[in-house]
Amino acid sequence: MFEVPEDRKYLESHEYATTDGETATIGITDFAQDELGDVVFVELPEVGDEITQHEEFGVVESIKAVSDLYAPISGTVTAVNEALFDQPELVNEDPYGEGWLLEVEVADASEFDDLLGPEEYREQTE
């Protein structure tokens, strides 16, 4: 069973966004990191860049695959997890914690309504 925390919402393409305020933390799910296998590289936008819901914002590469990342929510990037540049394996080890990707200032909180809840997402991965 893959971990699906209750305190966030999800995209069908396996990205999550936290929902507890004006900023959201974005990452990929436990299911996604398991499917990818050993993550060896992430390519992310920079602080100040805009990302748009459902559009590509970066790339995560494992040894065996290259995967585009899609934004669960629109906003302005306020922080990038630079630890991943040296330790991309944090995405595998702790996808919801130390393996986070971006923090954004949420542009439009109503976009959360378009995302899957934990239960819906869990069903998708079973």
Partner 1 sequence: MALRKPPLYDVYAADASFTDFGGWEMPVEFDSIRAEHAAVRESVGIFDVSHMGEIVVRGSDGTALMQRLTSNDVTRLSPGESQYSTITDESGIIIDDTIVYRLPGEGDAEYLFVPNAGHDEEIHRRWVDHRDEWGLDADVDNETEAWAMVAVQGPDAESTVAKTTETDVASLSKGDVVDADVAGADSLVARTGYTGEDGFEILCSTEDAEAVWTAFADDCTPCGLGSRDTLRTEMGYLLSGQDFDSEDEPRTPYEAGIGWTVALDTEFVGRDALAEIEAEGVAETFVGLVLRERGIARHGYDIVADGEVVGHVTSGTMSPTLGEAIALGYVPTSLSEPGTELSVVVRDREKRAEIVSTPFIEDH
The footprint of partner 1 (CB under 8 A) covers 37-38, 40-41, 43, 59, 61-64, 66, 85
User: How near is the Cβ of 62 to partner 1 at its closest, in Å?
Assistant: 8
The DSSP bridge pattern shows strands 39-43 and 56-62 to be antiparallel
Give 39 or 115: the residue with its C-beta nearer to partner 1: 39
What is the rounded CA–CA span in Å between residue 100 and residue 93?
11
User: How near is the Cβ of 106 to partner 1 at its closest, in Å?
Assistant: 27
CB of 48 within 8 A of CB of 102? no
Give 13 or 87: the residue with its C-beta nearer to partner 1: 87
What is the rounded CA–CA span in Å between residue 65 and residue 81?
21
**Cβ neighbours of residue 56 closer than 8 Å, sequence gap 6 or more:** 68, 69, 70, 71
Give 63 or 83: the residue with its C-beta nearer to partner 1: 63
User: How near is the Cβ of 95 to partner 1 at its closest, in Å?
Assistant: 15
Give 84 or 106: the residue with its C-beta nearer to partner 1: 84
